[in-house]
Amino acid sequence: MNILDKIVLRKKEEVAACKAKISITNLEKQAAFSRETYSLKDFLTHPERTGIIAEFKRKSPSKGIINNQVTVEEVTMGYNQAGASALSVLTDHDFFMGHEDDLMAARAVNNIPILRKDFMVDEYQIIEAKAIGADIILLIAACLTKEELISFAKLAKSLGLSTLLEVHSQEELDFSLNPYIDVVGVNNRNLKDFTVSIDTSLQLAQTIPSEFLKVSESAIDSPETIKILKKAGFNGFLIGENFMKTASPGKAMQDFVQQL
Would you please indicate which residues are annotated as catalytic (active-site) residues?
A: 55, 57, 117, 166, 187, 217-218
**Cβ–Cβ < 8 Å for 164, 137:** yes
What b/e readout covers 213-236, taking b as 16+ CB neighbours within 10 angstroms? bbbbbbbbeeeebbeebeebebbb
Q: Give whole-number Cα distances, 164 to 41, 47, 140, 183, 214, in Å.
A: 10, 21, 9, 5, 9
For the stretch 203-209, contacts whose Cβ atoms lie closer than 8 Å and that sit 24 or more positions apart, written own/partner, are 203/170, 204/167, 204/169, 204/170, 204/173, 205/232, 205/233, 205/234, 206/232, 206/233, 207/170, 207/173, 208/173, 208/184, 208/233, 209/177
Give first-to-last CA distance, the chain, whole Å: 40
Sign of CA dihedral 194, 212, 249, 130: negative
Q: What is the Rg, in whole angstroms, of the alpha carbon atoms belonging to the chain?
A: 17
C-alpha torsion 201→137→126→56, nearest 10? 110
What b/e readout covers 102-111, taking b as 16+ CB neighbours within 10 angstroms? bbbbbbeebe
